[in-house]
Amino acid sequence: MRCLAIVGLAVAAIAAGCGSETPAAGACSAATVPEPAAQDLPAPVAEARKRILDAAGACDYATLEEIGREGNEAFTFSFGGGPSPGAYWERLEASGDRPLASLVTVLGLSSTLVDGRIHAWPAAHGEGATDDDWRAVVDAGLLTESEADAMRAQGSGYLGWRVGIAADGEWLFFVAGD
């Protein structure tokens, strides 16, 4: 009888994930966000976007950090959040923020071309953002209507979570704030 109890406890511990080396599926906010459809982008930009979406959907902070650091030690992920993008985003997720859900959501919106070489999401981040661009960030749940109105009135463009990928496919930034 004691052996059955021990086996039962072992099975329960395994089922609960005790001793697991990898995070459980759905361990971040992006796991609940459907992957957006492909967009009409230059091939290097589309490939980088797809790699980012795949890593975010898998809650794979290490791969996201690798993509951000490829050929770009100056990858911008925060304004003072430490040396590691992956650790920063994981820390935010653990505190209840949803950066990876925002990453997937933002990459599902329209992009804009900044400085003729950077594809930036969402389009509300760029100069000349339209009413539809601002409506998209509200409809996506990234900002409330009043937050979007205030940001727009400041003339700074959208400063919530945003993504920039260079024309050559280099991931330049995923950052919020200014």
Q: Please indicate, yes or no, if residue 5 is contained in any of the structural domains.
A: no
The reply to whether 21 falls in a domain is no
Q: Is residue 64 part of a domain?
A: yes
The answer to whether residues 170 and 73 touch, using CB atoms and an 8 Å cutoff, is no
What mean pLDDT do residues 132-158 have?
Answer: 94
pLDDT, position 98: 95
Rounded average pLDDT over 30-45 = 94
Domain for residue 139, yes or no?
A: yes
CB count in 10 Å sphere of residue 156:
10
CB of 120 within 8 A of CB of 128? no
Confidence of residue 155 (pLDDT cuts 50, 70, 90): confident
Q: Read off the pLDDT of residues 80-137 as tens digits, 9 standing for 90 and up.
A: 877 899 999 999 999 999 999 999 999 999 999 999 999 999 999 998 899 999 999 9
Split into its structural domains, the chain has a count of 1
Does the residue 6 lie in any domain?
no
Rounded Cα distance, 70 and 39, in Å: 23
Query: Considering the domain boundaries, does residue 22 fall inside one?
Result: no
The answer to the question of residue 155 being in a domain is yes
Asked, for residue 11, whether it belongs to a domain, the answer is: no
Q: Are 30 and 59 in contact (CB under 8 A)?
A: yes
Contact at 8 Å (CB) between 103 and 163?
yes
What pLDDT, on the 0 to 100 scale, is given for residue 1?
A: 40
Q: What value does the mean pLDDT take over residues 143-156?
A: 92
Contact 121, 163 (CB under 8 A): yes
Q: Which helix (H) or strand (E) holds 175?
A: strand 171-175
Domain range enclosing 145: 27-175
**How many whole angstroms from its chain centre is CA 175?**
9
Q: Which of 125, 126, 107, 109 is nearest to 171 (CA)?
A: 107
